Amino acid sequence: MSQTSSRSNYQMQLWALILGIALMAIKFIAWWFTNSNAVLSDALESIINVVAGAFALYSLVIAAQPRDHNHPYGHGKIEFVSAGFEGALIFLAGISIIGKAIYNLNVPQPIGALDLGVILTVVTGGFNYLMGIYLERRGRKVESTIMVASGKHLQSDAWSSLGLIIGLGLVWATGWYVLDSVIAIMFALLIIYTGYGLVRSAMAGIMDETDTALVAEIVEQLQTHRSSHWIDIHNLRVIKYGANLHIDCHMTLPWYFTTREAHQEVDAFSRLANDNRENPVELFVHVDPCTPVSCPLCMKEDCAYRKYAFEKRVEWKMENVVVNERHGV
């Protein structure tokens, strides 16, 4: 990732943290006036927003550091750790909210100033949603797991605020204050689900789980712009290191190509893989020489060493490119 992009991501996350602190203060003010469990649940989640935002900011600094002797693939994996940390905090916040709501079902507390609580919740929810949308879009553009996770979390918080507004309206209209604790429990379950999703996504990244959508996109790009010299590509693997991608694969080229010619084809492959990507893609390509069994699927028309006639063009798809086996007709 370029220094300019890293600096922009850092500044964006810093503004999100500052906004999160301000919104947290507003939510606790709303709880102070209303004494509502539902409002308190929203305020407690804001603590998570601030803590997670601070850790995300730190993680962006670490992830932007260049690779070194101890980290030959860079520091991008910290993004998955940050997303998992945020998810775990969200999960714990949901559990604590449920505990307090159950307590207040048995020990009810008076609620007041609902009109002020609704107004402050509308303001904080709107800001959270707008910031969440921007962070997620920016994160997807620069392929930053941290920013996508933060954006989704803020949007989830905004939807919770919308539900909170509806719930407080019902409490005000009906006078059934028990609804306050019931609404808090419903929000807590939504918060727990959001936290689980972030932890699950983070574990997938740490364990190098295949991102099928990403691999399919890369394979489609190779298929669309493939060279006639590239007889076969197989054993393709894509690993994410934060915002950076690393691709391993085997490429079958004509056996009579010189080292220089083979290197030119690998360079062309690299340029194609990096095309239209915000961050550089690193490739390790193992070159295999063709054999007579490659002839029926080889599309190279000017081959003076062909043993068998061309029979069929093999369409590259994720299902056959990731397999560690040369293609055949």
- Higher per-residue pLDDT: 232 or 100: 232
Order of all β-strands in the sheet with 244-253: 232-241, 244-253, 281-289
Give the model's pLDDT for residue 295. Answer: 92
| pLDDT at position 210 over 90 | no
Pairing of the two strands 232-241 and 244-253: antiparallel
Pairing of the two strands 232-241 and 281-289: unpaired
For residue 207, name the pLDDT band (cuts at 50, 70, 90).
confident
pLDDT above 90 covers what percent of the chain?
A: 13
**Among the ranges 49-53, 88-92, 265-269, which has the highest mean pLDDT value?**
265-269
- Higher per-residue pLDDT: 74 or 213: 213
* Amino acid in the structure at residue 66: P
What is the spatial distance between Cα 82 and Cα 199, in angstroms, rounded to a whole number?
Answer: 10
DSSP string of 77-134?
Answer: THHHHHHHHHHHHHHHHHHHHHHHHHHHHHS------HHHHHHHHHHHHHHHHHHHHH
For residue 111, name the pLDDT band (cuts at 50, 70, 90).
low
Give the model's pLDDT for residue 4. Answer: 56
Task: List Cβ neighbours of 237 (8 Å cut-off, separation of 6 or more).
Answer: 247, 248, 249, 322
For all residues of the chain together, what is the average pLDDT?
81
Give the model's pLDDT for residue 171. Answer: 72
Express each pLDDT in 288-307 by its tens digit: 999 998 999 998 888 889 99
Give the model's pLDDT for residue 163. Answer: 67
- Higher per-residue pLDDT: 316 or 152: 316
Give the model's pLDDT for residue 62. Answer: 80
Q: Evaluate whether 234 touches 321 at the Cβ level (below 8 Å).
A: yes
> Rounded mean pLDDT of 199-204?
83
The residues with which 202 forms a beta bridge, in sequence order, are: none
| DSSP state at residue 294 | G
| DSSP state at residue 298 | -
Give the model's pLDDT for residue 181. Answer: 74
| pLDDT at position 260 over 90 | yes
pLDDT above 70 covers what percent of the chain?
A: 92
What is the spatial distance between Cα 274 and Cα 291, in angstroms, rounded to a whole number?
Answer: 29
> Rounded mean pLDDT of 82-110?
76
For residue 229, name the pLDDT band (cuts at 50, 70, 90).
very high
Residue with tokens 């690998």: 266
Which three-class secondary structure state does DSSP give residue 2?
Answer: coil
Give the model's pLDDT for residue 233. Answer: 92
For residue 35, name the pLDDT band (cuts at 50, 70, 90).
confident
- Percent helix, strand and coil across the chain, each to the nearest 5: 65, 10, 25
- Give the angle subtended at the CA of 32 by the CAs of 106 and 44, to the nearest 5°: 70
For residue 257, name the pLDDT band (cuts at 50, 70, 90).
very high
Q: pTM here?
A: 0.63
Q: Evaluate whether 129 touches 158 at the Cβ level (below 8 Å).
A: yes
For residue 251, name the pLDDT band (cuts at 50, 70, 90).
very high
In this structure, the number of other CB atoms found within 10 A of the CB of residue 14 comes to: 14
> Rounded mean pLDDT of 48-72?
77
For residue 82, name the pLDDT band (cuts at 50, 70, 90).
confident
Express each pLDDT in 144-157 by its tens digit: 777 777 787 777 77
> Rounded mean pLDDT of 136-165?
75
> Rounded mean pLDDT of 147-176?
74
Pairing of the two strands 244-253 and 281-289: parallel
What is the spatial distance between Cα 268 and Cα 153, in angstroms, rounded to a whole number?
Answer: 39
Please report which helix (H) or strand (E) contains residue 53, including its range.
helix 37-63
Beta strands in the chain (DSSP E): 232-241, 244-253, 281-289
> Rounded mean pLDDT of 63-78?
75
